[in-house]
């Protein structure tokens, strides 16, 4: 029951100020968000790619309130892509973006987010890589899928994320699989009401398997976003049944979570991509990681008590 409470706190400005300012927060945050600047994250990208892993980079930040912040988000990604180009890391590192950070929730936000994300997708294509649109809460998804479809007219390799906990997702998966898209399937990390989403973990896992089967049997490129050993084994089996070669799907996990499993899958010959978030506005991302595993919260609280 802690998970939903943490997710509710992830939208609270008061909690944001308290958690962000606590001196003990930093070391706990660093496990999941290994840097605040491009200079800090580039060595991490180099280290991961040296180990045979691929990367998707997320500049953290959401819930922005001004158009200027949306331009700053776009520019942060353009700076990152420039650095990847200089280092020749383009093909190993793609980008993950949250359209909320590109202005989606502001007035006229759909057009603003599309206008901001397009140059990022263009710059990524120019260095041989691509962009995946993350899935946020369910109210944002029609706009996200419309932007995805629009971007794919010029950049068909643009990816998107679908969330197994939402009732709508099986239909979305069929549409995207038919269209030959790159699609990351995840369980879902937001607090969603029972009218739109499964609440039971077992139901979510079953939906995940049904959706993954659709993606594997379809024409697109499935990206299996999960740390769940059972789903990873099922993913391998579904890929085998669908006759997919190792470069026709990939696994994805978050930086700082089950890192030994990243290396094991890569050593077995799978494509393994590590979702690596960086930046200063890490609060929302960090709280979702706490919500996924309440033991993380206990560790965090214990370090607060022992250090104070
Ligand atoms: C690459 C990637 C991209 C994602 N993108 C999105 C997105 O765009 N939109 C979205 O809604 N969600 C996204 N998520 C999050 C996702 O929805 C889940 O919340 C998250 O992956 C946890 O689910 P799980 O499949 O790992 O299974 P779980 O059953 O939650 O976890 C399985 C096991 O993994 C380990 N584990 C999982 N989470 C943690 C954690 N935080 N800390 C420590 N150990 C943990 C534990 O050992 C746990 O038992 C993404 C996840 C990944 C891996």
What does the pLDDT read at residue 5? 82
Ligand 1, atom 35: closest residue by C-alpha: 227
Give the whole-angstrom CA distance, residue 10 versus residue 283: 7
Query: With a cut of 70, which residues of the chain have pLDDT below it?
Result: 1, 24, 303-308
What does the pLDDT read at residue 17? 80
What does the pLDDT read at residue 131? 98
Give the whole-angstrom CA distance, residue 173 versus residue 184: 10
Give the whole-angstrom CA distance, residue 47 versus residue 41: 10
What does the pLDDT read at residue 186? 98
Cβ partners under 8 Å of residue 183, min gap 6: 159, 160, 161, 162, 173, 176, 177, 215, 220, 221, 222, 223
Segment 102-154, tens digit of pLDDT: 999 999 999 999 999 999 999 999 999 999 999 999 999 999 999 999 999 99
What does the pLDDT read at residue 250? 98
| CATH for the stretch 34-281 | 3.20.20.220
From ligand 1's centre to the CA of 141, what distance in Å? 19
Ligand 1, atom 51: closest residue by C-alpha: 225
Catalytic site positions: 134, 184
pTM, full prediction:
0.95
Query: How many CB atoms lie under 10 A from the CB of residue 32?
Result: 20
């Amino acid at each position: 029951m802690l998970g939903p409470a943490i997710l509710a706190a992830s939208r609270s400005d008061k909690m944001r100020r308290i958690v962000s300012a606590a001196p003990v927060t930093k070391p706990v945050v660093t496990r999941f968000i290994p840097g605040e600047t491009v200079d800090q994250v580039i060595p991490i990208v180099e280290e991961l790619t040296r180990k045979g892993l691929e990367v998707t980079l997320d500049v953290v930040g959401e819930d922005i309130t001004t158009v200027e912040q949306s331009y700053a988000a776009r520019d942060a990604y353009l700076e990152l892509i420039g650095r990847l180009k200089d280092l020749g890391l383009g093909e190993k590192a793609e980008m993950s973006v949250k359209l909320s950070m590109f202005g989606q929730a502001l007035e006229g936000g759909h057009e603003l987010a599309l206008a901001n994300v397009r140059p990022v997708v263009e710059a990524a294509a120019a260095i041989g890589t691509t962009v995946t649109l993350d899935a946020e809460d369910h109210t944002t998804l029609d706009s996200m899928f419309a932007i995805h479809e629009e971007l794919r007219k010029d950049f068909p390799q643009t990816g998107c994320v679908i969330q197994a906990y939402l009732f709508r997702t099986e239909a979305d998966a069929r549409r995207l699989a038919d269209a030959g898209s790159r699609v990351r399937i995840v369980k879902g990390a937001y607090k969603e009401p029972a009218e739109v989403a499964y609440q039971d973990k077992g139901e979510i896992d079953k939906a995940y398997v049904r959706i993954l089967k659709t993606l594997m049997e379809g024409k697109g490129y499935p990206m299996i976003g999960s740390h769940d050993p059972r789903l990873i084994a099922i993913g391998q089996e579904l890929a085998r049944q669908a006759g997919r070669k190792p470069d026709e799907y990939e696994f994805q996990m978050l930086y700082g979570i089950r890192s030994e499993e990243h290396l094991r899958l890569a050593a077995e010959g799978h494509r393994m991509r590590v979702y690596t978030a960086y930046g200063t506005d890490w609060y929302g991302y960090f709280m979702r990681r706490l919500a996924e595993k309440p033991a993380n919260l206990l560790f965090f609280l214990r370090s607060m008590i022992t250090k104070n």
